[in-house]
Amino acid sequence: MQTHEIRERFTQHFVKAGHTEVPSASLILDDPTLLFVNAGMVPFKPYFLGQQTPPFPNGTATSIQKCVRTLDIEEVGITTRHNTFFQMAGNFSFGQYFKEGAITHAWGLLTDPVEKGGLGLDPERLWVTCYLDDDEAADIWHEVVGIPKERIQRLGMEDNYWSMGVPGPCGPCSEIYYDRGPEYGAEGGPIADDNRYMEIWNLVFMENERGEGTGKGDFEILGPLPKKNIDTGLGIERVACILQGVDNVYETDLLRPVIDVAETLTGARYGAEHEDDIRFRVIADHSRTGMMLILDGVTPGNEGRGYILRRLLRRIIRSARLLGAQGPTMEKFMSTIMDTMTPSFPEIEKNRERILRVAVTEERAFLRTLESGTELFENAASEVRSAHGTRISGDRAFALHDTYGFPIDLTVEMAREAGLEVDIEGFDALMAEQRARAKADNKAKKHGHQDLSVFREFIDEHPTEFVGYEELQATSRVLGLVRDGQRISEARPGEQVDVIVDVSPMYAEAGGQLGDRGSFVLDGVSLPVEDVQKIGKKLWIHKTRIPEGAGLEVGATVESHVDEAWRHAARQAHSATHLIHGALRQVLGPTAVQAGSMNKPGYLRFDFNYTEQLTPEQLQQIEEITNSVVDADHQVNTTEMPLEEAKAMGAMALFGENYGDLVRVVEIAGPFSLELCGGTHVAHSSQIGPVAVLGESSVGSGVRRIEAYSGLDSFRYLSKERALAEGLASSLKTPSEDLPERISQLAAKLKAAEKQIADLHRQQLSAQLGGLVEKAQQVGEFSVIAEQLPAGTAAGDLRTAALDLRGRCGEKAAVIVLGAKDEKGKAPFVVAATPAAVDKGVRSGDLVKVLGEYVSGRGGGKPDMAQGSGSAPEGLAEGFRAIIEDLRSRS
């Protein structure tokens, strides 16, 4: 049975039982506690936490959620059951059925015959575990379902009690296992061997509330929840493994084709050697996870989600290289995994070109990193051999791994080829420190999750009626006041409060558009609204500071006013953002996908996935197309329609955004700009006014940003640019239209003059070098040249001079030490040694460190040449003397 069929059978089983089908949320949710969605229940957290009332007609739901867990990336492939990406199929009950319902639903799907819509598993091979004192669940399994008591086992808090890891809902759970047979391990059930007995489904009975604590079992149970809930999770990949009769999750219809391609590209064979098998599994697992992250809008970067994606893609490249691949591999891996996953996720097909472009670009960059890393490794290995050592230090290996992205196992392999070893213990210790810091940071973020339950009553019973699309003022009744997370009945002068009203004309921040500014007017006194935020997509929170001589009470009636100038300029910027997006796709093609935006009165920035810097000509095209749409005075149409209808029209949605069944579509100039958007917009494109593109820049690997002004801000910017051009034209006594050529001429002259000066300086320096050889002093068995060169000598000139002097010293055991005060007041320095001096034990890299201590600097290099820089040039003379004393002590 193919994986997509397993998914369909699961969904239909619960839909027929009255559950609402909920599409998978994006892997990226606006949740400060999570980097990625890591469990099927995550999108339902507001309902389990009591922050919102479930919107499902029967109080039940089912979903197959995309999940990513990356805590133990290094362990991937070592076991054959765990993936970084997996599909968690779940059914959820919010105060409806409880233990018996969850158990019988699960048992029915697993054991019903295939011809009746079930999965057809042999009931005699199913085992279950229950929490130690959960007699109720154990009795249901035995008396209602009919499982013999010997196949029902009890486990403690660590295994059969669930919580989110922070205060909130919790409860015992019951897990279902499948016996894969004696060839997989010992008899005796899951307690005896969890490899033979594979866990496939976890049924969580949420009935209690937990307090603070650490670990899986070290917390207090505060008491029962108001309602008993059900949260279950079935591992689609594990069920596929069983139904397809394969040994592990890497051999199912989703991942095995990637392994087959890897065999072709590398020449290695899966199943031949344990270490190679791990690399094959890494390639298969990470290809899928990387592809799904790119699909949901993640691009490689150096922090957060982008760092995780970059790490996954680089592990694919590294693993392929270690298996024997010589050239690029990413395109074939990604193409294969997209083919296997598209039946379950049809949206992959529309994004195929973009996914390939992001992955292949990252591969090219990393292959360059491997080249530079190889050079750095060779330097490290050379230093170890020169010092007659056999081991590359842990901190050097860690620097190669952490700073330069050079994989540790590649470092180990290359060291082995060079007859060296790596201090793995030291490396592991540094990695453990890094993981501990990351874990502590993650824990801090978890406990920083804001409690929004204070707003639940308003979300459920008094959602805000937003009238701001049509009106800029409204009569509103104050429903609630919240200060420092607590509800209050009255706000006093000087206090910052969150004000909740029944009707509001003010736009709450969303979709990249900042919230409106405005005021509440009460008894002739204006209370400024400094920001408007949204909670649960239904409730508007007005950030208000009570002025002197005023107050505000729950139940008061106020006049709500939007700052009209703010709204006008904000609408201009938001509509301009849509036009920039349309122009961008027209110039760059459909693979330039939005990665985020921000617009406020008069200004916008637009982030998009693209790997190349835009040319001035492309920017000019984008600006010209945008303004041509402005000039054409198109009507801006907004229409509400079902989500599926909007998608069928071609309306674009933002990655990571969860849309309701009914969405708002904003259309400008027909198909040129058609987007799902809840923001405020102008009525006609001409109302945007001029749009001035400021430029574009990189904001991360594969993500570019365009910034622009709109309306009066655009006019003011262009006016300043004109004044600047006129000023330059006047100073240079040339017409404005000739400025580019005139400035280019001056720049060329300046560059030629600077080159002349540099050449003259080098000639003067070269003329001095002969005299320096004659001034060399004999220090024991070494001929030493230690000289501070004229002020303004740059580091590059110092190095050239040192190489020249070393060459002039011929067969002598000579050491050259040079320093200077450069144009920035810094102190570059260099040490060079002839081959004869190196043979006598001189190490230039050690000597620059001595000199660095006297000039507040540092340096390094090879035995025959090293250099550095410091901030205290006045210490050069003393540093020279220290080196001379060091050399004298060797004689």
**Residue ranges for the binding site?**
574, 578, 677, 681
- Write out the two tokens for 77: 């492939």
Degrees to nearest 5, angle at CA 40 with 34 and 43: 60
Alpha carbon distance 567, 574 (integer Å)? 10
> In angstroms, rounded to a whole number, what is the distance separating the alpha carbons of residues 630 and 686?
5
Write out the DSSP string of 695-759.
EEEEEETTEEEEEEEEHHHHHHHHHHHHHHHHHHHHHHTS-GGGHHHHHHHHHHHHHHHHHHHHH
The vertex-545 CA angle with 543 and 550, nearest 5°, equals 135
The answer to whether the CB of 287 falls within 8 A of the CB of 340 is no
User: What residues contact 749, with CB distance under 8 A and at least 6 apart?
Assistant: none
**Residues whose CB is less than 8 angstroms from the CB of residue 521 and which lie 6 or more positions away in sequence, other chains included:** 527, 558, 559, 561
Tell me how many helices (H) and strands (E) the chain has.
25, 35
Residue 617 structure tokens: 């000509």
- Rounded CA-CA distance 685/10 in Å is 48
786 φ, ψ (degrees, to nearest 5):
-125, 110
Q: Which residues are annotated as a binding site for Zn(2+)?
A: 574, 578, 677, 681
How far apart CA 521 and CA 370 sit, in angstroms, is 64
- In sequence order, what are the beta bridge partners of 819? 788, 829
Rounded Cα distance, 39 and 68, in Å:
8
**What is the length of the chain?**
891
Pairwise CA distance, residues 624 & 621, whole Å: 5
CA-to-CA distance for 356 and 313, rounded, in angstroms?
12
H or E element in which residue 607 lies: strand 603-609
The angle, 0 to 180 degrees and rounded to 10, between the axes of the packed helices 739-774 and 795-808 is 30
Distance (Å, whole) CA 706 – CA 738: 28
CA angle 684, 686, 688 (to 5 degrees): 90
User: What's the CA angle centered on 105, arms 187 and 235, to 5 degrees?
Assistant: 55
User: Residue 249 has which token pair?
Assistant: 């999750």
Contacts with 82 (C-beta within 8 Å, 6 or more apart), sequence order = 72, 75, 76, 249
d(CA 109, CA 669): 50
Positions of E strands within 259-398: 391-392
Question: What are 832's two structure tokens?
Answer: 């060079």
CA distance 862 to 865: 5
